[in-house]
Chains A and B, each alone.
Chain A
């Protein structure tokens, strides 16, 4: 039992962070707080992918200059790094779009609280 825990506690941390984001997204009424929660959720996924590329005793995936035979076990898995690199930048861009939408909502309804927006839209 303890052995399974020590080998996998990283997943526990990632899932905790992810659930923090999920809880924020479903139970906060303020759209800005929802957005922050979404970003936390996204970071949890990025951490999870990066962690899946780690190998014990390995170095960063940049091949040394005077290498002879390349042993893949000595370099971290570069694939998650690539995927998350683009995911981070696209995440920033989509966050920008979300913030822009939020500003438009605020212009129109005068609030970013969910219930007040609904009341305003029903009028």
Chain B
């Protein structure tokens, strides 16, 4: 059986290797993948929307639909984990009090967490807000924000993290992110443009169409950041406590 598996893997691998014989050389500027749409994006991103980071420009504007549904996929994944695992919420959250039980933990860990958490949040907001001009954007910033809350859950305990970022709040924020994204698209539609065509926003904002597209990208990235942050924390909370939302790691 083991030999048979190795045979299949070897066969598939050699077929794929044979297939790469026709592939372009690595790092070839004339490779077909780099010849068709991407030069258009690179040449027109600045003129179209004044966003130097072409990755953000494609992510939120040229391929806005794609990213919108990616956000919906993440939202759905978070909701399905919630449905699969979460059991202890109602009984536990009713007696949610602000009397935080401080379990005796390592003080070095607690102090390091206190110093690091504001820095992590600040950096995450920078990554989201500056995603037009430097590497970054909603997905990355959202994950960093979520990591900040996970750090609290790890350094203190799950109870404190849940009191700060309680289940109703993180569900609301996850839904809010998707709503922001689709509302921006809908507003563009109502103003006479296409769905997610942010240049229509220049009719209600005192900016040129190109700058309106840049602002639209920012709004959409904030929505993505919200959803990703809430879902990352919710996944961690559910998986590490098997849905009971207490004790944890």
Contact = CB atoms under 8 A, between A and B. Distances in A.
A86 B33 CA distance: 19
Contacts of B243: 103
A58 interface: yes
Interface in A15-58: 15-16, 18-19, 22-23, 26-27, 51-58
A103 to B, nearest CB: 6
Interface residues of B, number: 63
A119 interface: no
A112 B39 CA distance: 49
Interface residues of A, number: 56
B77 A85 contact: no
A63 B28 contact: no
Contacts of B143: 89, 92
A14 to B, nearest CB: 9
Interface string B39-69: 1011101100000111100110001001100
Interface of A: 4, 7-12, 15-16, 18-19, 22-23, 26-27, 51-58, 60-65, 67, 70, 72-73, 75, 77-82, 85-86, 88-90, 92-94, 96-97, 99-101, 103-104, 107
Going nearest first, the 9 A-B pairs with the smallest beta carbon separation are A93-B77, A72-B39, A7-B25, A96-B235, A27-B5, A56-B27, A11-B20, A86-B70, A55-B29
